[in-house]
Amino acid sequence: MARPSPLEVYALLDKSNCKDCDRDTCMAFATDLLERNVVVQDCTHLMQDPKQAKKRNKLIKIVTPPQKPVTIGIGERKCIVGGEEVLNRHQLTFYNETQIFMQIADDDPEIAEIAKYLTELKIERMGEVLQVNGITLRCVSGDTEQFKLCSKKLTEVSDLPVMLACLNPDILLAAATEIKEFKPLLYAATKDSWEQVGKFAVENNLPVVAVSNDLDQLLSLSATLQKLGVKDLILDAMTVFGPGNVALTYDNIMQLRIAAIDKGDVNAGWPIMGVPAAYWSQVKTDDDKELWEHQYQEIIMGAIMQSIDCSLIVMHSGKRKEDIWALLAMMTLRQSIFSDPRIYPAVDAGIYIIGEPTEKSPIFVTSNYRLTKIPVEIDIKGANLDAWLLVVDSEGIGIESAVAGGQFNAGSIAETVKEFKMFEKVNHRILIIPGMAARLSGALEDEADAFVVVGPRDSSGIGKYIKEQWNPEEFMKIYEDLKE
Ligand code: SF4
């Protein structure tokens, strides 16, 4: 389905430029609507004027992505799954990264501790905070009271969205009744339970997963549930391990995505989920292999699913502190896959203060490529240094390429020194440039009237470099001698 242009959206708006939506013009609103910074409902004119109902409905239709978004949970930690417009990230962007739900069994005695740990877990990486998105409570006990009790316990100790996973609809809905105000995701409606689970989902406005390993049956379930009135649906074509099955699982997810996004199939046009955690119920794990070797298989499946924009995955490994490596692998991979290719990976040029620098502190020079600036900053902090970090506008390009391409050059560094009055903050004129920019040192000394020293090629060597080679008095003496 073709993405509408801002002009097509504008044509359906009120065009009064009233500013009620906090935009200066209806055209600005149209652009923001396409970027998902606002929703149609933010234009009060369009929503309240009965004469504009036809345009409003048409607008909602054209801006609704072919794969509809679904919200799970409430409050600050609620998550949105799906809602994508393209098959491949480079065609536009992916709007909602794969949501990672960690699975806990309802017979796990540490359920509260694990849920608390997962809720509070925050990993800061490259300027972003990486977190788990939800908890899947899996019914292992087969006991209604136990499942109800655990679902309540989860909502007491955690504000993460909850997926209730039980194929017995009576047990599933008993627990869902207990916590329905938290908008849990119901797993699942099958060919046998769709009516009971679907009706409950409609009555309580809850999202529900349709599951079948037969794609035709899954799409038929989707159609039936929509006809019943289900508004929020997620599709699970099932995750299977074993020879040939990884390819089959991959293929099913891709077929559903292609049907939704490229072919506009409304029955496939919903978020898709996968369950790498199924490894532990499908594969014999009481063999000679070490635990991590089994966990690794689950992680590989999770990584494959993330790489093809599966909307939500359920993981077993990584929910305890000792398994953090598994979760780190998933979250760091996800961070790379779901970065927006349209956003320039740059930070502002200028002076960044690290620690409590004084007039004697060193000045490190780097580029404004985000993935250069942030690691350099982390490495300087990691070396316990108080320093000035001078970030030069290299058009968001990393040091090596920017030196080769001319975006990081003696002139631009000297200009930045001048623009931000760098030398007024210190009692020296020493600039430490990255090892990869060594060839700029001579020209930079002339352009910036500075003494330029070449630091390590990799910022992880900054601590060692300062310890062994930083000698400002000596450097300034050489600078003064050269000036005479
Ligand atoms: S509220 Fe509606 S009519 Fe007013 S400026 Fe925004 S888009 Fe235009």
- Predicted local distance difference test score (pLDDT) of residue 442: 95
Please tell me the CATH code under which domain 350-483 is placed. 3.40.50.11600
Q: Are 71 and 65 in contact (CB under 8 A)?
A: no
Cα(153) to centroid of ligand 1, in Å?
A: 45
Question: How far separated are the first and last CA of the chain, in Å rounded?
Answer: 71
Distance between CA atoms of residues 72 and 291, nearest Å: 32
Q: How far is the CA of 78 from the centre of ligand 1 (A)?
A: 28
Distance 14 CA to ligand 1 centre (A): 6
Which residue has the CA at smallest separation from atom 8 of ligand 1? 26
Ligand 1 atom closest to Cα of residue 25: 5
pLDDT less than 50: residues of the chain:
none
Identical fold for domains 6-63 and 350-483, yes or no, is no
Q: Please report the atom of ligand 1 found closest to the CA of residue 22.
A: 6
CA 12 to ligand 1 centroid distance, Å: 11
Residues touching ligand 1 (Cβ under 6 Å) are 13-14, 16-21, 23, 26, 29, 43-46
Burial class (CB in 10 A: 0-12, 13-18, 19+), 455: buried
> Residue 214: left if φ>0, alpha if ψ -120 to 50, beta else—which one?
beta
Contact 1, 64 (CB under 8 A): no
Query: According to the model, what pLDDT value does residue 414 have?
Result: 97
CA 179, CA 176: separation in Å to the nearest integer?
Answer: 5
d(CA 229, CA 365): 60
Closest residue by Cα to atom 4, ligand 1, is 18
Q: State both tokens at 477.
A: 């003496």
**38 CA distance to ligand 1 centroid (A)?**
11
What local confidence, expressed as pLDDT, does residue 203 receive?
Answer: 98
| Distance (Å) from CA 53 to ligand 1 centroid | 15
Alpha carbon of 102 to ligand 1 centroid (Å): 42
CA-to-CA distance for 347 and 395, rounded, in angstroms?
9
CATH level 2 (architecture), domain 69-337: Alpha-Beta Barrel (3.20)
Pocket test for ligand 1, best of 12, 20, 63 (most atoms within 8 A of CB): 20
| pLDDT 10s digits, 289-316 | 999 999 999 999 999 999 999 999 999 9
SS3 label, residue 479: helix
Name residues whose C-beta falls within 8 Å of residue 193's C-beta, 6 or more positions apart in sequence.
167, 169
Q: Which residues contact 226 (CB under 8 A, 6 or more apart)?
A: 233, 266, 267
Write the pLDDT tens digit of every residue in 45-55: 999 999 999 99
CA distance 418 to 130: 37
CB atoms within 10 A of CB 92: 15
Burial of residue 21 (CB within 10 Å: 0-12, 13-18, 19+) is: buried
Cα 188 to ligand 1 centre (Å): 41
Q: Which of 17, 34, 38 to probe ligand 1 with, by most ligand atoms within 8 A of CB?
A: 17
Q: Residue 3 Cα, ligand 1 centroid: separation in angstroms?
A: 21
Q: Does domain 6-63 have CATH number 1.10.15.40?
A: yes
Q: For atom 3 of ligand 1, which residue has the closest CA?
A: 14
421: left (phi over 0), alpha (psi -120 to 50) or beta: left
Q: What does the buried/exposed string (b/e) look like for 38-54 if buried means 16 or more CB atoms within 10 Å of the residue's CB?
A: bebebbebbeeeeebee
Note the pLDDT of residue 484.
78
Nearest CA to ligand 1 atom 2: 43
The domains of the chain are located at: 6-63, 69-337, 350-483
What was the pLDDT predicted at 123?
Answer: 94
